[in-house]
Chain A
Amino acid sequence: MSEFTLITGRTAKQGVALHKGKDSDEYRQATGFVMMSRADREHLGIEEGQSVRVRTAFGETELTLREGELPPGIIFVPMGPTANLLIAAETQGTGMPDSKGLEAKVEL
């Protein structure tokens, strides 16, 4: 198990796929993965396309691993129903949930 900083956000594919319907395979694929750097992936000894479990203090879920251009120590999940399982409902009095910069753990 390794510790990361989780950020969530928009991607072009997520934006295009949501018009196909949020039940579509295209949307599920566009929002159902976790991205990490090659260095972190090799350190964990896992391959692209493998399923990993991502866990935060607020929830956990299984995601497909993708390699991407990220600084070591950061993982990225596209905004959507899967990312929602990991982010906090606490808003510190602002209305805005903590959607970026969360502590997360990744395990096989």
Chain B
Amino acid sequence: MTRIENVVCSFCGCLCDDIIIEVEDNCITAAKKACANGRSRFLNVHTQAAQPTVDGKEVDWPQAIDAAARILTDAAFPLIYGLSSTASEAQRKVIALADLLGATIDSTSSVCHGPTTIGIQSQGEPTCTLGEIKHRADLVIFWGCNPTEAHPRHYARYSVLARGKLTPQGRKDRTVVLVDVRPTASSKKADIFLQVRPGCDFDVLNALRALLKGRDLDVDEVGGVSVAQLQDLVGRMKDCRFGVIFFGMGVTQTGGKHLNVTELLALVAELNAHTRFTTMPMRGHGNVAGADSTLTWQTGYPFAVNFARGYPQYNPGEFTAVDMLARGEADAALAIASDPVAHFPRQAAQRLSQIPTIVLDPEMSLTAQVARVVLPTAIYGISAAGTAYRMDNVPLPLKRVVDSPQPTDEQVLDWMIERVKTCSA
């Protein structure tokens, strides 16, 4: 039995880097310290060989790469989508492929924290690392997120229970506030729970900004929350030593979307006139923050990038995957490290079965089941090494803990780039 310590779990944006993996005969037998999500990810790994397929028939790798390259070069408006569960080394390659093809490239950010990025572009982002929060934060607010279910070790490692230099008693040194439209497993662990009416996040954030500026509100409640509760929260925000608002899909997926985020960021920025206050989106996929970072340093833009004119253009709504598919514009697609058929609205998901779709993924996903070409690869953080960015944009090295007969995404993308160059020539 081999024991490998300090393994990074790449399932979610927490990127917990203290996992202990035990391996016997190239099989993972234990994933100690991992949460239920992480354990399920490590323990359900298959390391047996899988052949690529074209139209459901097994083929060799050169045939599969040739089919994929022809689909992409024959298309007038190809879409490359996903990126968030692969390593940044592969993200860099797939951006190069999009550039070569004149394709559109979009990440899963567009259906999670894309509105956050739009908000940050207009307002700025007062932020910090999770390490600073662990050591300093005495007021921790979670808005529109449910970390107990989506990021199970966030409380223990970074935000609520963690003992830091200035928070030696962990939970006792912090006030925890949860804002959501419904009680959740997370709200039960908070000191204060504010239940907002669905669709009223902007109103409540706007009221908090007004109260922070000393304005009087001529109403008793805003968005289901009493003004007395809001005044109490503003007092706590001003009086804390170091505050943070973590926020999730409850803010980005409701009406208003990026406007909600902009309001939240404005509140946090204004709180810095009183004390140190920061904010951070709760990122879902293990390397979705890396997709934003890699796309930005390669193209200048974080998602929804189009290369049709030979240089990168950015336009959410025009070059985002759901829009391009639902409007029937994309005439070929490459899904890498994502499963859009499982997570897109029906109209957009259906389009993927109507056009030639290529899937580059370790899993036989729902998208792979409708794809013309399936390219099964090794799993970053389990059977391939690479780099991923934590939700606070700190890059961490992913280890290979078992061997895989499959090539990595990076290798397959190298082959595709070479073949596309030949096709284009």
Contacts and interface: CB of A to CB of B under 8 A. Distances in A.
A51 interface: no
Given A12-B152, A96-B253, A59 B183 contact: no
Interface string B232-268: 0000000000000000011011110110000000000
B303 A95 contact: yes
Contact of B198 (A21, A74, A84): A74
Secondary structure of the A contact surface, majority rule: loop
Contact of B36 (A16, A87, A96): A16
Given A87-B345, A95-B303, A81 B149 contact: no
A80 B182 contact: no
Interface string A54-70: 00001100000000011
Interface residues of B, number: 57
Contacts of A18: 342
B13 to A, nearest CB: 12
Contact of A85 (B44, B199, B253, B346): B346
B56 to A, nearest CB: 16
Contact of A91 (B146, B198, B322): B322
Contacts of B347: 58, 89
Contacts, number: 145
A11 B317 contact: no
Contact of B258 (A19, A94, A98): A94
A79 interface: yes
Given A89-B348, A95-B303, A100 B342 contact: no
Nearest to A35: B182
Given A20-B40, A22-B339, A89-B322, A96 B182 contact: no
A94 B182 contact: no
A7 B196 CA distance: 13
Given A19-B44, A20-B40, A94 B114 contact: yes
Contact of B343 (A79, A91, A93): A79
Given A9-B146, A19-B44, A94-B317, A84 B339 contact: no
A7 B181 contact: yes
Given A19-B44, A101-B199, A9 B249 contact: yes
A44 B183 CA distance: 22
A100 B345 contact: no
B150 interface: yes
B37 A95 contact: no
Contacts of B303: 95
B316 A12 contact: no
A74 to B, nearest CB: 6
Given A11-B149, A15-B150, A101-B199, A74 B182 contact: yes
Interface in B171-230: 181-183, 185, 195, 198-199
Given A12-B37, A95-B321, A97-B322, A89 B345 contact: yes
Interface string B321-357: 1110110000000000001011111111100000000
B254 A95 contact: no
Nearest to A85: B346
Contacts of A5: 198-199
A93 B258 CA distance: 10
B365 A22 contact: yes
Contact of A96 (B111, B150, B183, B195): B111
B224 to A, nearest CB: 9
B366 A96 contact: no
Contacts of A8: 253
B182 A95 contact: no
Contacts of B306: none
A107 B275 CA distance: 51
B320 interface: yes
19 contacts: A11-B149, A15-B37, A16-B37, A21-B363, A71-B195, A88-B345, A91-B317, A94-B258, A95-B321, A95-B323, A97-B111, A98-B255, A99-B111, A99-B249, A100-B253, A100-B254, A101-B253, A101-B254, A101-B255
Closest CB pairs A-B (n = 5): A95-B320, A93-B317, A95-B110, A89-B326, A89-B347
